[in-house]
Amino acid sequence: MQSDRADGGRSGDSSLLRRLNRAAALQAFLDAEALTPRELRDAVGVSRPTAEELLTDLLAEGWVEETTARRQAGAGRTPGRPARQFRFRASAGYTTGIDIGAHKTMTVVTDLRGNTLARHRVELDPESTADERLRIVTDAVQHIWRKTHLVPEDIIGIACGVTGALRVSDRVQDVRQGPVGSDLTVYSLPGFTEVDVPAVLAEGLGRPVTVANDVKLAALAEHWKGAAQQYRDVVYMFAGHRAGAGVLINGEVHQGRHGVAGEIGTLPMLGWAQAVDDLHRRGSELAAAQGIAPGSEGELVIASAALQDPESQRVLTAFTEVLARGAAVLALAVDPEVIILGGGMSRGGAIIAEPFRRELAKHTLVPIEVAISTMGADSVALGAARLALDAFITDLLTVPGA
């Protein structure tokens, strides 16, 4: 908060002070559902005329709007006309979050309050080339923009989650190409290590695009809207068509110096790759026997294990135990408050969670709470939207020269 009261005749840079007050006012509106002019004045710590001037400016700029509802007089309030209320204008801009996976792409559009306006899913061929996949993604984004009556100029940020290890350059990397990482098990979407994903998407969409690891974005979404909302230090385990992990420290995704923190699934001695292969093999056998198209292998194994099929139970338990041992490695490193099980396999419920908890307890020094994700298939896309929103809010509140 910045006061506009005199301080021994030293007023400082009045232009800087106005910008600081404006940023403080925006933050106050972001932190509250709605504010009266008096509440704005108290939040920023300025005089009534300055608060009124700030409010006038933010209304003119389109960041704030008056609400239709007004508070009624009650305890501690003076009877009479209810105070006017104002709120941050959620429709001042929109974010787009994209998930590019092996079997699907999911796109969501949110407003500046994080409310989801629309979501759009398109199934993908796992063998699609990078060019084909990115063309479909571009078409899907443009479709959802048309559906929500938006144009590129309405979009204040786009972020995208992709499968694979990413460095801080936002480029998908195959670390096995050099001596560093030559023994690791790294998976990226076909052809994605040969193309500049953010550049290709930005050219097709007419807006800059940020790219991040999909599992880390799913962890971010879980903290934003899912089972991790009440926790600060979190280990997030993703179990779907592949296994992965992300770490949140103090409520923020821990990227590490090079952006590869949490990529323990690349360690061959953990056996993640083999466990995933065995799961898919059993799922493919079940799909073939039932005449079902590929793409739901994990769900088929869960359903079969629930019916006491011995081979499905064996494969599922082995997969879950490998996932738990990976979680234990991260838990010993960061000592989290909770471990969240996410991804499509997490929707198996107790048949996944109970063997996970048993195996985890063998390898950790203290009991750790395990929770099942409450997010759906749009978790990565929502995490991407949150990433874009956070970047925009940071820029909006930044005061040059402060």
Domains defined for the chain, CATH in brackets: 14-88 (1.10.10.10), 91-226+380-397 (3.30.420.40), 234-374 (3.30.420.40)
What are 345-381's pLDDT values in tens digits? Answer: 888 888 899 999 999 999 999 999 999 999 988 999 9
Task: Tell me the β-bridge partners of 247.
Answer: 235
Q: What is the mean pLDDT of residues 79-93?
A: 87
pLDDT, residue 64, reads: 96
pLDDT, residue 173, reads: 55
Cα 283 from Cα 319, distance rounded (Å): 13
Residues listed for the chain: 402
Residue with tokens 């796992």: 126
What are 195-249's pLDDT values in tens digits? Answer: 888 999 999 999 999 998 899 999 999 999 999 999 999 999 988 777 889 999 9
pLDDT, residue 176, reads: 45
Across the chain, what does the average pLDDT equal?
A: 87
- What is the DSSP secondary-structure string of 286-335? HHHHHTPPSS-HHHHHHHHHHTT-HHHHHHHHHHHHHHHHHHHHHHHHH-
What sign has the CA pseudo-torsion 264, 210, 126, 239?
A: positive
The gap between the terminal CA atoms of the chain, to the nearest Å, is 13
pLDDT, residue 10, reads: 43
Contact (Cβ atoms closer than 8 angstroms) between residue 47 and residue 12: no
> pTM (2 decimals)?
0.88
Distance of CA 106 to the CA centre of its chain: 13
pLDDT-derived band at 170 (thresholds 50, 70, 90) equals low
What are 318-355's pLDDT values in tens digits? Answer: 999 999 999 999 999 999 999 999 988 888 888 899 99
